[in-house]
Chain A
Amino acid sequence: MAGFLEAAGLRGAAGGPFDLTLGRGEAVAITGPSGAGKSVLLRMIADLDPHEGRVTLGGADRAAMPAPSWRRRVAYLPAEPGWWHEAAAAHFPDRAAAAEMMPQLALAPALLDQAIHRLSTGERMRLALIRTILPRPDVLLLDEPTGALDPKATGLVETLLALRLAAGTAIVMVTHDEAQAQRLGAHRMHLEGGRLNLA
C-alpha cells in the first residue's frame, strides 16, 4: 500500500516498536486483549503521550510540525470522550455543520441545546464523532467508536466512516468487532504482548 500515514519504531508504555503504514482512503482495524495498549498506540500516533519513534503524513515529518497542527490533521477520538462546556452546542465551532451531519447518525439537531450530562452515552459518543470528523482531518484515530452503540447506530456510523474513506481519509480504529472491520474493508492487525502484527 502507498504510504500516506507512516509510523515507524513507535515505542512507549504499551511496548513496541510498532510500525504502521496506511494509504489514503485505507482503514486498519486493531484488535487485541484489554490493556494490551491499543489506546496507547493511538495516543502515540496523535502525539499525546511521550514516546519514541517517527511518524510522517504525506511525507511530512510530524516532528517538524507544531503538535496542534499535527493533531488537527491526525485527529484522535478516545473511547470516553471528554467535554469542556456545559452545553452540547458549545463544543461545535460550526453549529450549522454539526446540525447538518447529526441526522446521518440518527441524532436530532435539537440535542445541541441540551446539557452534555443529560445526553446518553451513545448520543455523546456520536456527537464526539461528529466533533472529530467535521474539521475534515486527514487521518482519524478512533478508539471503539461504536462500543456504546446499538446495531442500528453502529450501521449509521459505519456508513459515515465509509464515506470518509471514499473521500480519502485514512482511519486507524480499535475495535472488538471483527465483522465491523470486514464491513469497512479494513486491514486487520492484532496487538498483544507489546507486538503489533497483521492478523
Chain B
Amino acid sequence: MTPIDLTPADLLIAASLVLVDALASVLLGLRLHRQLLVAAARCAVQLLLIGFLLRFVFAAEAPLLTLGIILLMVAIAGREVAARPERRLVRYGNQIAGLSAVALATFITAIFALATAIRPEPWYAARYAIPLAGIMLGNALNAASLSLDALLSAVTRERAAIEAQLALGARFRDAMRPLIREAVRRGMLPIVNTMSAAGLVTLPGIMTGQILAGLSPVSAVKYQIMLMFLLAGATGIAAVGAAYFAARRLTDERERLRLDRLH
C-alpha cells in the first residue's frame, strides 16, 4: 500500500524519452522539437508549482483559501467555456452563461459528494475539495462549451423556424425547446461514451494513478465509479445550465428572438 515515491533522478530518466522524441523530430525534419521541449518544460514547471501550492494549501487548513482557489478555478473554466463557441453573446453573455453553468455544476456535485459519499473531516478539507472540484470543473467545462456552441450555432441556423412559431403566438421557450434539447444532448454525449468505454477501451486516469500509487485495484475502481457518476451529474447540470442561460439571453420581455445580441 505504500506508494513508491519518485526521485528527481526517476523523472530525469523518464525525460530521456522526450529527448528521444526531439531527436526523432530533428532527424525526420518534423520541426517539432522546439515546441516539444517547451511543452515538456511547461508541463513539469506548471505541475511542480501546483504540487507545491497544493501542499501549502492542504497544510494551511484555511477554508477561505480553499474556497478562493476553487473560485479561481471556476472563473478560468468559465472563461474557457465562453471562448470556445464561434459566436458571442453581447454584454458578456457567453461569460455569464459559461460561468453560471460550470459554477452550478461544480458546487452542486462537489458538495453533494463531500456531504455524502466521501465525507472527509472536516467536509471542506482542501485535500478532498480541491481535486474533486478540479475533476468536476474539467468535465463541466467540456459539457458547457459543447452545449453553448451547439445552441448558439443552431439558433442562427433555425432563425426562420423559431420566428415562424413566434409569429403564430408560440411561447419563446416552446419554440426553443428542440434546440435546447439538441444542445444538451451534445453536451452530455461525451460522458455517456466515457462511461460505456470505461475499463474496456480505456483505464481512466484517476484509477490508473491510484493503482500506480499503491491502492488496491478494487478500491481504485470503486473511487472511479463514484467519480464517473458524479461527473455524469456535473456534465448534465453544466450542459442544461449553459443552454438555458444562453437561451434566456436570446430573448426579451416581449418573447422576441434577439439575434441582434449574438455576434
Residue of B nearest to A91 (CB): B164
Closest approach, in angstroms, between the C-beta of B262 and any C-beta of chain A? 14
Closest approach, in angstroms, between the C-beta of A160 and any C-beta of chain B? 18
In this complex, the member of A68, A69, A132 whose beta carbon has the largest number of chain B beta carbons within 10 angstroms is: A68
* CB pair B163 A82 closer than 8 Å: yes
Cα–Cα distance between A70 and B164 once the two chains are bound (Å): 15
The verdict on A35 contacting chain B, using a C-beta distance below 8 Å, is no
The verdict on B255 contacting chain A, using a C-beta distance below 8 Å, is yes
What are the residues of chain A within 8 A of B256 when measuring CB–CB? Answer: 47-50, 67
Residue of A nearest to B164 (CB): A82
Report how many residues on chain B are interfacial, defined by Cβ distance under 8 Å. 24
What are the residues of chain B within 8 A of A73 when measuring CB–CB? Answer: 169
In this complex, the member of A72, A75, A77, A82 whose beta carbon has the largest number of chain B beta carbons within 10 angstroms is: A82
Residue of A nearest to B253 (CB): A67
* CB pair B161 A47 closer than 8 Å: no
Mask, A51-67, CB within 8 Å of B = 1, is 00000000000000011
* CB pair B255 A67 closer than 8 Å: yes
Report how many residues on chain A are interfacial, defined by Cβ distance under 8 Å. 26
A-binding segment of B13-21, B92-100, B120-128, B170-178: B170-178
* CB pair B178 A48 closer than 8 Å: no
In this complex, the member of B175, B256, B258, B260 whose beta carbon has the largest number of chain A beta carbons within 10 angstroms is: B256
Q: Which of A134-155 contact B (CB under 8 A)?
A: 135
* CB pair B168 A75 closer than 8 Å: yes
* CB pair B169 A72 closer than 8 Å: yes
* CB pair A84 B167 closer than 8 Å: no
* CB pair A83 B164 closer than 8 Å: yes
Cross-chain pairs A/B with CB under 8 angstroms, 20 sampled? A46-B167, A47-B254, A48-B163, A49-B256, A50-B254, A50-B256, A50-B258, A67-B253, A68-B166, A71-B168, A72-B168, A72-B169, A73-B169, A78-B164, A83-B161, A83-B164, A84-B161, A84-B162, A128-B164, A132-B168
Extra A-B contacts (6), CB below 8 Å, given A82-B161, A84-B162, A131-B168:
A68-B169, A70-B169, A78-B160, A81-B160, A82-B164, A83-B160
Which residues of B are at the interface with A, using a C-beta cutoff of 8 A? Answer: 158-171, 175, 178, 252-258, 260
